Amino acid sequence: MARHPYEREARGGPCDHARVPSDFLPPDPYADAPQDAGRPVFVPPSPAGGREGRRGSNPAVGALAAGAAALGLLAITSGVLFFVTLPAAIAGWMLGRRAKLADGGSDQGNVAVIMGIVGTIFSVIAAAVWILIWAT
């Protein structure tokens, strides 16, 4: 039988240190405690994933999509498509405001309103800059 390179012949096992006697180890403080006293109990998750009674906000998701699309398109095209991004940013702002009022101030609605406002401001600035460039 082939011997593993780390095994020693004297003990016949992979470990080369002496066994620790049981009287050397400290006593287990939980050995005499009942099994269910003070221990956390595992509660399996609900089948719905913990979202009972909470539904997704479609206006907030639409507002986020419109605001993100407006900001992304504004950044990618350097503001040339301001005539597309301005209506998209305003739509994101209005949809986010509607979602915020409907859901009682949801986080998605707040973020959508902020993105819509920022997109609207940057779109107006881009429109002014590009109209001045084209006019000259």
The Cβ of residue 125 has, within 10 Å, a number of other Cβ atoms equal to: 13
Q: What is the DSSP letter of 24?
A: G
Per-residue confidence in pLDDT tens, the chain, 136 aa: 555 555 455 555 566 666 666 676 777 776 666 665 556 667 777 766 555 545 556 788 888 999 999 999 999 999 899 999 999 999 999 999 988 888 777 788 889 999 999 999 999 999 999 999 998 8
Question: What is residue 86's three-state secondary structure?
Answer: helix
Q: Which residue has the tokens 């979602």?
A: 99
User: Where do the domains of the chain lie?
Assistant: 58-135
